[in-house]
Amino acid sequence: MSLSRVGRALPRAVAVCLACWSGFEPAALKAAGLTGIAPSGAAVIKQLIATLTSNWEWLIGTGLGLVLMLIAGLMMFGSQRAPDHLFRVIAAIMLILIVIPAVLA
């Protein structure tokens, strides 16, 4: 009995897979009005994203600089825990710059 269920379901599954593989998505996007040409306001949105990205990079750089200056001050005044904080900051930077992009690639 289960073999007949598989026999009936197999052609449907193959048809669904072929339909998805053959490209229903581009047809649906074209039917929704996607022409492949950017709208008239696309340059404004692109400029906004570029501005936000540069602001974000500046904010990260400033924050990192302040943290490193704080740790340098702690080391100058003889804090015993300052090297621990420094190594944690360095490990976090390495994690963000090396490990996460390597995992996502």
Per-residue DSSP letter, 37: S
**Spatial distance between the Cα atoms of 60 and 54, rounded to a whole number of angstroms:** 10
Per-residue DSSP letter, 60: H
What backbone phi and psi angles, to 5 degrees, belong to 99?
-70, -50
- Percent of the chain topping pLDDT 70: 82
Q: Are residues 20 and 65 in the same domain?
A: no
Q: Are residues 22 and 2 in the same domain?
A: yes
Enclosing domain of residue 95 = 42-105
Domain count, the chain: 2
Q: Are residues 20 and 59 in the same domain?
A: no
Q: Are residues 65 and 103 in the same domain?
A: yes
pLDDT (tens digit per residue) in 28-70 = 777 777 777 877 888 888 898 888 888 888 888 899 999 999 9
Task: Look at the pTM and tell me if it is higher than 0.85.
Answer: no
Q: Are residues 13 and 29 in the same domain?
A: yes
**Spatial distance between the Cα atoms of 23 and 72, rounded to a whole number of angstroms:** 58
Q: Are residues 31 and 57 in the same domain?
A: no
Q: Are residues 31 and 47 in the same domain?
A: no
Q: Are residues 54 and 96 in the same domain?
A: yes
